[in-house]
């Protein structure tokens, strides 16, 4: 059976974000945010709370209207509508449905017949086959987020938007789920909002630090080596400091940081 990571055959489209404005109609916090999310990689958005990162994701997902002028499209110049899966900080599992039914939610909502064999396969790959019939209330936070991951994979969308998907988990579970998500989403274009510099360094091929205020704009970082990285690697220390500098506004806006390749 063809499973998500072989589903696309060809490369997934990247995501081009051009001149997006973050904030509200009445108060623009960040202007002209542009970046590319490369296909088959993770692009991490870091930044202080309230700068509009989540709104940016919601805009790309088509949940809120873009403030005029913002443009986003697939790198194949086609609109992204219908090619996006969305994963939020809360697992958003429906408490009255079993894990299996939650994974099959998309098909149920579209009135299609869910592919139960594929649901079982995805539950196995996310390591929760034994909880297939459990209700969310009977599962731990880690198990619930695994179900949410399986539900995201079930949609087979090439672009996956994640809004702090692991932030509510304890450190060990978080690392496990990062590994799992990275493995299972390796053929997708992932854009993830996070508050955790280590998470960004672990997963991100590109890291964009978005900030509002007087130095509004963003700083792009391309940490050395390939993801998954070990965030305690001494090689990443400079990148970590660069992130912290950017977050605390000590680094110039719209600059780029590239580690010297070693």
Partner 1 sequence: MKFLRPALVFGGILVIWHVAVSIFDIAPFILPGPISVITVAIARADILLGHAGITLAEILLGLLFGTFLGATSALVMAYFRQARSWLLPVLVISQAIPVFALAPVLVLWFGYGIVPKVAMATLIIYFPVTAAFYDGLRRTETGWIDLAQTMGASKAAVLLQIRIPAALPAFASGLRVAAAVAPIGAVVGEWVGSSAGLGYYMLLMNGRVQTAAMFAALFVLAIMSVCIYFAIDAALRRLITWQPDGDPAFR
Opening angle at CA 230, ends 229 and 234, nearest 5: 110
Among 63, 71, 78, 133, binds partner 1 (CB under 8 A): 63
Considering only residues 77-106, where is the footprint of partner 1 by CB under 8 A? Answer: 82, 84-86, 88, 90, 92, 94-96, 105-106
Which of 3, 28, 38, 61 touches partner 1 by CB under 8 A? 61
* Total residues interacting with partner 1, rule: CB under 8 A: 23
Minimum distance of partner 1 from residue 94's CB (angstroms):
7
Distance between CA 59 and CA 73 in Å, rounded? 12
Nearer to partner 1, 143 or 247 (CB): 143
Binding flag, residue 28, partner 1 (CB under 8 A)? no
Within residues 122-181, the interface with partner 1 by CB under 8 A covers 135, 137, 155
Start-to-end Cα distance in the chain? 40
DSSP state letter for 74: E
- Cα separation, 120 vs 100, in Å, equals 7
Q: How far apart are CA 47 and CA 43, in angstroms?
A: 13
Instruction: Give the DSSP letter of residue 104.
Output: T
**What is the Cα–Cα distance from 92 to 151, expressed in whole angstroms?**
10
Instruction: Write down the least CB distance from residue 42 to partner 1, Å.
Output: 19
Smallest gap from Cβ 28 to partner 1, in A, equals: 23
Q: Which of 9, 10, 25, 109 binds partner 1 (CB under 8 A)?
A: 109
CA 109 – CA 217 distance, rounded (Å): 39
Binding site for partner 1 (CB under 8 A): 58, 61-63, 82, 84-86, 88, 90, 92, 94-96, 105-106, 108-111, 135, 137, 155
């Amino acid at each position: 059976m063809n499973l998500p990571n072989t589903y696309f055959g060809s490369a997934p489209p990247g995501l081009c974000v051009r001149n997006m404005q973050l904030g509200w109609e009445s108060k623009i916090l960040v202007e002209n945010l542009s970046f590319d999310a490369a296909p088959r990689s993770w692009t991490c958005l870091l930044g202080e709370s309230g700068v509009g990162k989540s709104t940016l994701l919601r805009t790309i997902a088509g949940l809120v209207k873009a403030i005029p002028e913002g443009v986003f499209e697939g790198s194949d110049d086609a609109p992204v509508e219908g090619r996006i899966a969305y994963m939020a900080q809360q697992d958003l599992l429906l408490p009255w449905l079993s894990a299996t039914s939650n994974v099959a939610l998309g098909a149920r909502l579209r009135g299609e017949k869910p592919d139960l064999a594929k649901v079982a396969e995805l539950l196995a790959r996310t390591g929760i086959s034994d909880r297939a019939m459990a209700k969310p209330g009977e599962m731990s936070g880690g198990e619930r987020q695994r179900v949410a991951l399986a539900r995201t994979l079930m949609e087979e969308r090439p672009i996956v938007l994640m809004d702090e998907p692991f932030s509510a988990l304890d450190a060990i579970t978080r690392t496990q789920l990062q590994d799992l998500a990275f493995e299972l989403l390796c053929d997708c274009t992932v854009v993830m909002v996070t508050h955790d510099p280590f998470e960004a360094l672990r997963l991100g091929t590109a890291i964009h630090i978005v900030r509002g205020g007087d130095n509004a704009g963003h700083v792009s970082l391309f940490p050395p080596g390939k993801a998954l990285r070990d965030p305690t690697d001494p090689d990443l220390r400079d990148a970590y400091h660069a992130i912290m500098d950017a977050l605390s506004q000590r680094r110039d806006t719209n600059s780029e940081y590239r580690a010297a390749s070693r």
